[in-house]
Structure 1
Amino acid sequence: MGRFRYHVFACTNKRDPAHPRGSCQARNAEEILSIFRAELKLANIPQPFRINKSGCLDACEEGPVFAVYPDGVYYRLTSLEDVRRVVKEHLQDGMIVADLQIPSPPAS
């Protein structure tokens, strides 16, 4: 295992509002990221983890997008309840939250 049990990437990419794919930033990514960080602190998870802002994760239409590694799982998180479920079920219990999962973007 690497330095962190989980490393979460939060897409905060911003595009022109007229762009056809949209962007995670326009879909409240920063707000959801703040909620995620607060929930992680409250959960007091013993394993080391990290959460970082990222650029585009190439799932713009699904945003806001959060990727959990090393599992390579991508989630669309839009509410406090979504975040709480990922923190509890995935980061604490190690179970993928299938109904919030989106397909991983194709490798370039």
Structure 2
Amino acid sequence: MDESYYKYHLFFCVNTRSDGGPCCGDSSAPQLRDYAKQRIGELGDAIPGNVRVNTAGCMNRCAEGPVLVIYPEAVWYRYQNRADIDEIITEHLCNGRPVSRLRI
């Protein structure tokens, strides 16, 4: 088997820190991860190949968060709202073009 089962694998950091430092989990990361899963499901065949959305622990990009990374390209994004998530899904997942303005 040469190809991965998933064309895209998204990891959303939703980590929280007990020391009060910056972290993705203190933002709306969990809700926006859920929104991404919902939108990807709604789009179905508009996205070529299978897509998996997962929760991740700390990815050590706390000050830049909230963050997500998309594999296999290892493209890192910072996002703030549903519009950012929609843009990532439409441009990166549907059209194969990373979103420059959100990359970190």
Residue number in structure 2 paired with 1:79:
81
Question: How far is the alpha carbon of 1:42 from its aligned partner?
Answer: 1.9
Q: CA–CA distance in 2 between the matches of 1:71 and 1:64?
A: 19
Task: Give the share of equivalent positions with the same residue, in percent.
Answer: 32
SS across alignment from 2:40: helix
Residue number in structure 2 paired with 1:63:
65
SS across alignment from 1:91: helix
Question: How far is the alpha carbon of 1:17 from its aligned partner?
Answer: 5.8
TM-score, length basis structure 2:
0.90
Paired letter, 1:37: K
**Once superposed, which parts of structure 1, at least 4 consecutive aligned residues long, lie more than 6 Å away?**
none
Asked whether the 8 Å contact 1:32–1:77 carries over to 2, the reply is no
Residue number in structure 1 paired with 2:35:
35
SS across alignment from 2:92: helix
Asked whether the 8 Å contact 1:67–1:75 carries over to 2, the reply is yes
Pairs within 5 Å for 1:1-108: 1-16=3-18, 18-19=20-21, 22-44=22-44, 45-102=47-104
Unpaired runs of 5+ residues, structure 1, are 103-108
Aligned pairs, number: 100
Greater percentage in helix? 2
TM-score, length basis structure 1:
0.87
CA RMSD of aligned residues (A): 1.1
Question: How far is the alpha carbon of 1:82 from its aligned partner?
Answer: 0.3
Q: Decide whether aligned partners of structure 1 residues 15 and 72 sit closer, same or farther in structure 2, where only a CA change above 3 A counts.
A: same
SS across alignment from 2:85: helix
